[in-house]
Amino acid sequence: MAAQYDQSREFARPVLERVHAAGLFDLQIPETVGGPGLTAVEECIVQEELAAGCAGIALALIANTLALTPILLAGTPEQQERLLRPFTEALRFAAFGLTEAEAGSDAGALRTRARRDGDGYVLDGRKRFITNGGVADLYTIFATLDGTSQGITCFAVPKGAPGLSVGREERKLGIRASNTTEVLLDGVHVEAQDRIGGEGEGYRIALRTLLRSRATIGAAALGIAREALSCAIRYAQGREQFGRPIAQLGAIEQMLGEMGMRVEAARLLVYQAAQRIAEGEASPLYSSMAKAYAADTAMYVAGEAVQIFGGYGFMEDYPVEKLFRDAKIYQIFEGTNQVQRMVIARALVKEHA
């Protein structure tokens, strides 16, 4: 099924309906508004398992959490009841509208503008690489009131709002079962009641959201790495060369040993970061370490798995080719791994000041 959706590039709504029916969507929505009220640890467990099956399908859950977290962090009780409860009653999708063509790692450089209009606001701009962008029922959009990062403000915009439209759907190297589009805002009116947090608080809200989501991203990367290792072990046990299984050859043993160590190290970092978030102590140091190391591990382990499979690893008939393609994006989105290393270094220097 994962291969089918990867090849067709379809959004896997039927699969996601089953995931929702199993109660695995939007786990951190609090019980006060009808959600399960679980922690980042449980969410990471779910994401690791789903991403091991198909990272593209699993990404729809991460996108929901990412988009709803600003409301959890800065929304009023009334906003949480009004905006979050519908997600507990039926399968709905949400999209996080931060990234733009000229504002990726430098989120503060976004150009989408918000201008005051009576008691509300009008939004104009173009968002890029938005996961769930074409299927979302609710968008959390970040726009600047004055053209600076100090003016960035967060807004909740419902599907169907006049002036809100979906641009082109991206054709991607991996995670093809996820929906990734442009989101266009042309004179979109937003009521003041749908502003999340205060004016100028959007940049801080976005950073706090990404800080919490990086453990979940790390868990998904961990799922890819774990599955790639499992595939490599099974193949090495069954593939014979020189009269014995290649799992008994010294070169392959070295590869599998290194892959296994990296997977377990990534696991410890991911769940340490998740536990800190669950305890209300989200750490830039550990969240960035978890995301960067797990993403690098996914790319490394998937690459080694392709090598162990040899020529078969390069073919679409075998699973490691897809795992390799899916892994790459985890080094890029939610803050590139180069940016994560900057965050880690600055946090370490601050700790030792």
Q: pLDDT class for 92, splitting at 50, 70, 90?
A: very high
pLDDT tens track for 192-210? 999 999 999 999 999 999 9
Residues 6+ apart with CB under 8 A from 40: 28, 212, 215, 216, 274, 275, 277, 278
Asked whether residue 273 falls in the same domain as residue 294, the answer is yes
The residue-averaged pLDDT of 220-235 equals 98
Dihedrals φ, ψ of 79, to 5°? Answer: -65, -40
Question: Tell me, what's the pLDDT at 107?
Answer: 86
Asked which of 68, 91, 114 is the last residue of a domain, the reply is 91
Asked whether residue 212 falls in the same domain as residue 339, the answer is yes
Q: What percent of the chain has pLDDT over 70?
A: 100
Q: pLDDT class for 299, splitting at 50, 70, 90?
A: very high
- The structural domain count of the chain equals 3
**Residue 294 CA: distances (Å) to CA of 198, 281, 289:** 34, 20, 8
pLDDT tens track for 55-65? 999 999 999 99
Alpha helices (runs of H) in 112-249, residue ranges in sequence order: 202-238
Asked whether residue 151 falls in the same domain as residue 137, the answer is yes
Asked whether residue 214 falls in the same domain as residue 303, the answer is yes
Residue 302 has pLDDT above 90, yes or no: yes
Q: pLDDT class for 340, splitting at 50, 70, 90?
A: very high
pLDDT tens track for 254-270? 999 999 999 999 999 99
Q: Is 264 a catalytic residue?
A: no
Asked which of 151, 173, 199 is the last residue of a domain, the reply is 199
Asked whether residue 187 falls in the same domain as residue 214, the answer is no
Domain CATH number, residue 345: 1.20.140.10
Total-model pTM: 0.97
Give the strand pairing for 138-144 and 94-97.
Answer: parallel
The answer to whether the CB of 132 falls within 8 A of the CB of 163 is no
Average confidence score pLDDT of the chain: 97
Question: Tell me, what's the pLDDT at 106?
Answer: 87
| Domain span holding position 320 | 204-351
pLDDT tens track for 9-33? 999 999 999 999 999 999 999 999 9
- Spatial distance between the Cα atoms of 316 and 318, rounded to a whole number of angstroms: 5
Domain CATH number, residue 41: 1.10.540.10
Q: Which of 201, 321, 334, 351 is catalytic?
A: 334
Asked whether residue 345 falls in the same domain as residue 243, the answer is yes
